[in-house]
Chains A and B, each alone.
Chain A
């Protein structure tokens, strides 16, 4: 009966013919009521449940997922983890996430394969270099590591980039974050699920929320495909489907849902050991531990719930990759897919109580919420446990759209939206 993962347990299981491994998380029947219900079994929902149990000692918690955990954007993303944002509020938020990521494998006793291989955001002109310097200064003042790279520095970390004098997007330098990198997406979902389950959280898959139970003007629970479930407090982290659930709860959100695509090549020998983003092409590239070249780009510009993506955007992305890395011209693409992302006008997330009291939101991460999972979970857990914001979540409340205090990270989000 192996519960804790360690070198010793690996060794023992080797001797025992791998017969002692237990399921990583339990799959119980839903109970009629919980202290807290979390809707959505993506990274944010699972992390919320884990921190409710670990930070707040609230373990009568259910995560309700309509499909399988991690089957949404968490399992579809290109796994870049970084914290090079511009505004102080974002620095706090993504900085918290980044620090938690650095200790996550230990904390969860699950290897999330965080690989801090560094990331460079290229600058393609003198003007972009000036903006780059400003961004680097802002980050350094906020205590986030950042460095302004010269063309030689870029060549050192990404020698296979297109440095030809005829390149459409020449390199004038770049913004470097050494602590940035990638993590394994499934491992983040599964690691949180396993750790939460061990603390008593019920993870319930194939359980779709179809409606809310409202009493006295407050959210009291949810109707699901597996029956009614009541909760003292309810949180939702359903990404691209936030507006659909908001509609059932009787309000609207400042969100449009779009498809965001990604693709990977066949695996090849190690050739790129950092993450490279070009604002000119809108494309970013890294190499997975398996050797695949992982390619991400801009949004499909047609509002959509079709989890597939249209061809023109894919063509633009591939054209961008070949412009950046002509050496990839002979690579075969292996897979292409899309996730439905929740795009907000200021490219910052929404965290706080919804217009339906007692229903709390964690959404609006758009194209960039994988890196934020530990923070999104910590903050929604705090809201569900206390009913109140802390200083980090406060600026991200829905009320900023009425007060005008937007946190416009259109540039920091990296991918145009």
Chain B
């Protein structure tokens, strides 16, 4: 069992967390968004091998956060609550 750091609760079992996609994948705004941009937003993924920045949610407390992680070694480098990633 790997432990992931919830910014609110601290280290908890990996099974309590849910993956939420690439960090920085902002929803396009406005009424005239071209189809390709919608498709990019909805479906295209970076899916990096190695260093990754991802959105996760700790399902027990509901905290959403950005986790920096290595997808090959599973090493966790940082976790930052959403909204705080610019100040941190």
Residues of A within 8 A of B (CB): 241, 243-244, 247, 252-257, 301-306, 310-312, 345, 401-403
Contact = CB atoms under 8 A, between A and B. Distances in A.
Contacts of B71: 257, 303-306
Interface string B47-63: 11110101000000000
Given A310-B74, A311-B1, 16 more contacts: A243-B49, A252-B40, A252-B47, A253-B44, A254-B44, A256-B47, A257-B49, A301-B18, A303-B19, A303-B54, A304-B72, A305-B49, A305-B50, A305-B71, A401-B39, A401-B43
Contacts of B88: none
A303 B52 contact: yes
Given A306-B73, A310-B14, A257 B43 contact: no
B9 interface: no
Given A305-B72, A402-B36, A402-B39, A252 B49 contact: no
Contacts of A305: 49-50, 71-72
Contacts of A401: 39, 42-44
Contacts of A253: 44-45, 47
Interface of B: 1-2, 13-15, 18-19, 35-36, 38-40, 42-50, 52, 54, 71-74
27 contacts: A243-B46, A243-B48, A252-B44, A252-B45, A253-B44, A253-B47, A254-B45, A255-B45, A255-B47, A257-B49, A257-B71, A302-B2, A302-B14, A302-B74, A303-B52, A303-B71, A304-B74, A305-B72, A306-B71, A310-B74, A312-B1, A312-B13, A345-B43, A401-B42, A401-B43, A402-B38, A402-B39
A304 B75 CA distance: 11
A306 B74 contact: yes
Nearest to A399: B39
B19 to A, nearest CB: 6
Contact of A312 (B15, B18, B43, B73): B15
A321 B18 CA distance: 24
Contacts of B48: 243-244, 247
Contacts of B2: 302, 310
A244 to B, nearest CB: 5
Contacts of A244: 47-49
A255 B44 CA distance: 7
A301 B72 contact: no
Contacts of B44: 252-254, 401
B45 A310 contact: no
A206 to B, nearest CB: 19
A247 B79 CA distance: 25
Nearest to A241: B49
Nearest to B47: A243
A302 B1 contact: no
A224 B72 CA distance: 22
